[in-house]
A = this chain, B = another copy of it.
Amino acid sequence: MDPLQSYVAENRERWLSELCDFLRIPSISTQPEHSGDVRRGADWLCHALKQVGCDRAEVIPSAGHPLVYAEKMSAPGKPTVLFYGHYDVQPPDPLNEWVSAPFEPTVRNGNLYARGSADDKGQVMLQLKAVEALQKTAGKLPVNVKFIFEGEEETGGAAIAQFVPENKELLKADAVVVCDTELFEPGLPTLCIGLRGMVYTEVEVEAASHDLHSGLYGGVAPNPLHTLAWILAELKGRDGKIDIPGLYDRVIPPSATERASWQRLPFDAQKMLHEEIGSPALEGESQLGELERMWARPTLEVHGIVGGYVAPGAKTVIPAKATAKVSLRLVPDQRPQEVFAAFEKRVAELAPKSVRVKVRLIHNADPLLLDTSHPAMATAARVLSEVWTKDTVFVRSGGSIPVVALFHEHLGIPSIMMGFGLPDDNLHAPNEKFNLSNFYRGAETIARFLAAMG
């Protein structure tokens, strides 16, 4: 073992204990009643950044949840690496499906179970620990480092979207390391080079002026829940095709090279179905491959329908209004504003004249495809291959990390998306976990990447 590996091995328990402290804070950014907890998360993180040697570390207020900025600029003339992550987490519901409580981190079979363990507090912590380990073993940092962490990733990222364009000088760097993705399979070093964009909406249908008795008015009154069923069914059919005029016009199919590289990935759709999804079969555009559908095709999903009676038992109500939370994932070269406008227009067309329909844009993000020939990307690929002793693979993610598009546009630097989650980490779901050996090896990888950049 070299000094870096020894240092990691000697500090495992302390690092785990600190991560658990971080995970105990229920920093749920989407729920107003948790805003105090989100603030506590920011304070905790700011303190941790000072502990690992940052000269400057501060909580930056915003109209919503605060940002946390830190830096250690102790290597004049050397490159600067910016780190990004988020300290907010998804709501934990449904609570009754968790084996251990979401905010009481618990280790089982080498995994740490807690809301936010993989997405993204565990991956934030391994960045801090990489800086700590490199300083302790090399004596000093061979590069300059900056950190920008947000508390609104799960709720649209408004604060950082405003902060980045207004603070280009502060955030100036040669590359940004984003640890919010996953390995393609356990042990396989992975760089993510593409992300889907996002248009998240609420479709509200207003029918009667008040809730109605379905016995008295059933047969003549519009039912907004049924209206939503008609609209949603027509927006996306059983073939997975989204029926919004113009939606696919800007979709760029993956290149022949990229398609060929996907063919070489250790991917088995049946294995994914049985081990990760668990439904009787897959759905979607069956004439296309599964990776293309997840990485390079737009989607339309309904996340929840509000309205009517949802408690146990029966109530024969026709609700006055109902709302569906509907998102679209976008791929290069789709534009969120165009897609939202086309969606809004299509929903209006599909609404019967017996109701009023409103569509609200909740948040959006651009899709992105990165250049694999950038020097920092090449360095990351090489270090990953060395630490994990396998060839690094290039993949895309079907998810959205809006901040990557921000860094690309305003700072002009590539995002090195080397994340250390795993496909079965249950992100946004009950029993979220983070593999502990990935936590430690991830920290080692980042430390060696910083050394190589220096």
Whether A398 lies near B216 (C-beta < 8 A) is yes
Whether A311 lies near B31 (C-beta < 8 A) is yes
Whether B314 lies near A325 (C-beta < 8 A) is yes
Q: A362 vs B313: C-alpha distance in the bound complex, in angstroms?
A: 8
Whether A218 lies near B301 (C-beta < 8 A) is yes
Whether B211 lies near A430 (C-beta < 8 A) is yes
Of A2-10, A16-24, A53-61, A290-298, the one touching chain B:
A290-298
Interface residues of A in 204-225 (CB under 8 A from B): 206-223, 225
Whether B329 lies near A315 (C-beta < 8 A) is no
Whether B316 lies near A30 (C-beta < 8 A) is no
With contact pairs A196-B215, A362-B314, A430-B211 given, residues A305 and B303 touching in the complex (Cβ less than 8 Å): no
Minimum CB–CB distance for A196 against chain B, Å: 6
Minimum CB–CB distance for A342 against chain B, Å: 18
Digitize A379-391: 1 where CB-to-B-CB distance is under 8 Å, 0 elsewhere.
Answer: 0000000000000
With contact pairs A214-B327, A221-B282, A354-B283 given, residues A311 and B397 touching in the complex (Cβ less than 8 Å): no
Judge whether A155 is part of the interface by a CB distance below 8 angstroms: yes
Q: A225 vs B304: C-alpha distance in the bound complex, in angstroms?
A: 7
Whether A211 lies near B429 (C-beta < 8 A) is yes
Minimum CB–CB distance for A336 against chain B, Å: 14
Most chain B CB atoms below 10 A, which of A213, A226, A431: A226
Of A126-134, A139-147, A227-235, the one touching chain B:
A227-235
User: With A155-B313, A225-B232 given, can you name 15 additional A-B contacts, CB distance below 8 Å?
Assistant: A30-B311, A31-B313, A214-B301, A214-B329, A218-B299, A220-B277, A220-B282, A221-B277, A222-B281, A225-B302, A304-B307, A305-B305, A305-B310, A308-B325, A315-B428
The 6 closest A-B pairs by CB, nearest first: A215-B399, A209-B278, A304-B308, A219-B293, A233-B233, A229-B232
